[in-house]
Structure 1
Amino acid sequence: MKYHSLLTSNPGVNSLPINPCQLLDFNLLKLAAGEKHSANSGEREILAVILGGKAAFEINGQRFEKVGGRPNVFAGKPHSVYIPAGAEYTIQAEGGVEIALPSAASDKDGIQPYMISPDRVVEGIWGAANFKRYFKQILTTASQPDLPARRLIVGETLTPSGNWSTYPPHKHQVDNLPREAYHEEMYY
């Protein structure tokens, strides 16, 4: 099974050529000023994380304007918008914008769309020495317990060159709590 894929960075929606995950998926959306992307989330919940730029969102008739603002992932905390399963949505670029679209299989359970502003994102440092890394928890049960999501846990991790990002070595292949929990991880 292949666990590493190169993702294109072309205008529009960029999808993984090979996805070994059963629950998770990832798309990259690149839009020029004024361009729109419309879709239905189907049976997936999506967290639209603004990597750089600004956009407006309309999700099932609810609008979120001027979302974003950082020029790139190294320039502060992100803005994000939660798109529930079964939602019709449109994203319109306000200037050029790059948006990560991680998603997970989800029930259509009445969760409403919402925006996560940078002040809700928790930052910190994990590890030390050659396994030190900087994290931004965007949507987690630990840092944002009041924000509903069915299966998504989303964050950004900045790892200095040469350092380990997931130390100590571990796996998530079986449910054997509290030692191990089954879930999938993706890194972009």
Structure 2
Amino acid sequence: MSKLLVKPTDGQGRVTHITPQNAGWQYVGFDLHRLRPGDRVSEETGHREVCLVLVSGKARIAAGGEEFGLLGERMSPFDGVPSAVYVPGGSDWTVSAETEVELAVCSAPDPEGNLPARVIAPSDLSKETRGSGTNTRYVTNILPEDQPAQSLLVVEVITPGGHTSSYPPHKHDQDNLPHESLLEETYYHRLNPPQGFAFQRVYTDDRSLDESMAVEDGDVTLVPKGYHPCAACHGYDLYYLNVMAGPRRTWKFHNAAEHEWLLNAG
């Protein structure tokens, strides 16, 4: 199995645990919790900021000394948009599940901890359609660069079955602004129906990194560098939640030169 493919553990609780240490990089952390009604999870943020994303389900969330009440409007990541909560460094958070819940904990460095905790409501989220034809996909910006945070960028995407995504292939692995930013990235994948699979390739120009992975429901892929396109198989829609962070909080990418012609194709 590819070193870039992370499978969830069985059962409930924290089923995925990705840290800069076990990923072998510097910035991005990602945990996935599966909670039953009545389950509760709490953490301190330390020197990291967190974006709590209710991938599915409803939960009561408290953070930074504030009670934000019952959040969550969808029971599936393929049905509507999420609710989320931003939590700064030097704080804490608690999530208490009212229903079955899938909770993503996205994290990145925040040594300052000077922003307030806040709810990111579904009505706050911007949506866009990218691509055309069988490269069409639907994007929801959860924590984009025009919203307050220190390091984190968080977005989710629905790619219909038979379509490609993160395509034409692009990369963001050079700290070379304004042309390109250096951002590590995780992809948390879900499939609808869940028995489906998709494909993701992560590769560099010189092919010193070149991994192709069959992605199943609940898998996470790591993108430390390089291009990282996805393909959703016919009959199975693909959801993914992206977490990005690097030394500068901006998304400036570079397309693979040999595939840029696709941007002007009908």
Task: Report if TM-score (shorter chain) is over 0.5.
Answer: yes
Deviates more, 1:13-22 or 1:132-141: 13-22
Superposed counterparts of 1:97-112, under 5 Å: 97-112=101-116
Superposed counterparts of 1:106-125, under 5 Å: 106-125=110-129
TM-aligned CA deviation for residue 9 of structure 1: 5.5
Which amino acid in structure 2 is aligned with residue 120 of structure 1? Answer: D
TM-score, normalised with respect to structure 2: 0.65
Partner of 1:14: 15
Alpha-carbon distance in structure 1 between the residues aligned to 2:57 and 2:65: 23
More strand by share: 2
Matched, 1:45 2:56: no
1:99-137 per-position Cα deviation (integer Å, ceiling 9, x unaligned) = 111111222332110001111111121011232211011
TM-aligned CA deviation for residue 20 of structure 1: 4.2
The 8 Å contact of residues 122 and 137 in structure 1, kept in 2 or not, is answered as: yes
Which amino acid in structure 1 is aligned with residue 170 of structure 2? Answer: H
Matched, 1:54 2:58: yes
Deviates more, 1:155-164 or 1:23-32: 155-164
1:86 is paired with a residue of what secondary structure?
Answer: coil
Partner of 2:191: none
Which amino acid in structure 2 is aligned with residue 181 of structure 1? Answer: S
Partner of 1:4: 5
Matched, 1:81 2:85: yes
1:126 to 105, 124, 130: 130
Alpha-carbon distance in structure 1 between the residues aligned to 2:10 and 2:51: 19
Which amino acid in structure 2 is aligned with residue 63 of structure 1? Answer: E
Which amino acid in structure 2 is aligned with residue 44 of structure 1? Answer: R
Partner of 2:251: none
TM-aligned CA deviation for residue 41 of structure 1: 1.1
Deviates more, 1:105-114 or 1:117-126: 105-114
Aligned residues: 184
Which amino acid in structure 2 is aligned with residue 12 of structure 1? Answer: G
TM-score, normalised with respect to structure 1: 0.90
2:184 is paired with a residue of what secondary structure?
Answer: coil
TM-aligned CA deviation for residue 43 of structure 1: 1.4
Is the alpha carbon distance of 1:9 and 1:105 closer, same or farther for their aligned partners in structure 2, counting shifts above 3 Å? farther
1:185 is paired with a residue of what secondary structure?
Answer: strand
Is the alpha carbon distance of 1:44 and 1:124 closer, same or farther for their aligned partners in structure 2, counting shifts above 3 Å? same
Matched, 1:35 2:39: yes
Partner of 1:187: 187
**Structure exhibiting the larger radius of gyration computed from Cα positions:** 2
Alpha-carbon distance in structure 2 between the residues aligned to 1:9 and 1:120: 34
Partner of 2:175: 175
- C-alpha RMSD of the superposition: 1.8
Alpha-carbon distance in structure 2 between the residues aligned to 1:138 and 1:174: 24
Is the alpha carbon distance of 1:138 and 1:182 closer, same or farther for their aligned partners in structure 2, counting shifts above 3 Å? same
Q: Which runs of 5+ in 1 are unaligned?
A: none
